[in-house]
Amino acid sequence: MTETAHRPNLKRAGIVDVRFGSDVTVVEPVNLYGCAIGDGSFVGPFVEIQRGAIIGRNTRVQSHSFICELVTIGDKCFIGHGVMFINDTYANGGPAHGDKSQWKATRIGNDVSIGSNATILPVSICDKVVIGAGAVVTKDITTPGVYAGNPAHLLRSL
């Protein structure tokens, strides 16, 4: 078998078509496109925030986090290092392959802290919640409190 050198279709990461509030800090390199980031927020390096995602005011998104389409994060939130948001539930037994009609939204309330390496499936999380590091949130959270584990469960109320 002979090898042929092919050129890949290169896409550049960067900041494209982002609606920034006042006093926002972004540490490059990042991949931010078609999203909105509220006043006083911080975005660390190696973060991707996709089209249509909304980040509230005074929210911190730490390095290596991924915020996909259909995610809304409230005000005064903390998103730890390496947090992954997911909008495809594999409802048909596999990935949606770009069929956005199969994707689902995630809504994070205000004053929510999500620990490093947590995974957030398409859910709603109410205000004043702490999600422990490494937790996997698979269901809506409607009661303020501290949650941890896989799947995440209430440890104590706040």
Domain with 20 in it: what CATH number?
2.160.10.10
Look at the block and give the residue holding tokens 């259909």. Answer: 70
Q: Considering the domain boundaries, does residue 138 fall inside one?
A: yes
Q: Please, are residues 127 and 108 in contact by the beta-carbon 8 Å criterion?
A: no
Q: Considering the domain boundaries, does residue 93 fall inside one?
A: no
Model confidence at 2, pLDDT cuts 50, 70, 90, reads low
Q: pTM surpassing 0.75?
A: yes
Model confidence at 148, pLDDT cuts 50, 70, 90, reads very high
Domain count, the chain: 1
What integer pLDDT is reported at residue 97 of this predicted model? 84
Look at the block and give the residue holding tokens 């004043």. Answer: 128
Q: Considering the domain boundaries, does residue 68 fall inside one?
A: yes
Instruction: Write the Ramachandran bin of 128: left for phi over 0, alpha for psi from -120 to 50, otherwise beta.
Output: left
Instruction: Report pLDDT digits (tens) over 80-103.
Output: 999 999 998 888 888 888 788 889
Q: Considering the domain boundaries, does residue 71 fall inside one?
A: yes
Question: Could you give the count of Cα atoms lying within 13 Å of 4 in the half-sphere of its Cβ?
Answer: 3
Q: Considering the domain boundaries, does residue 8 fall inside one?
A: no
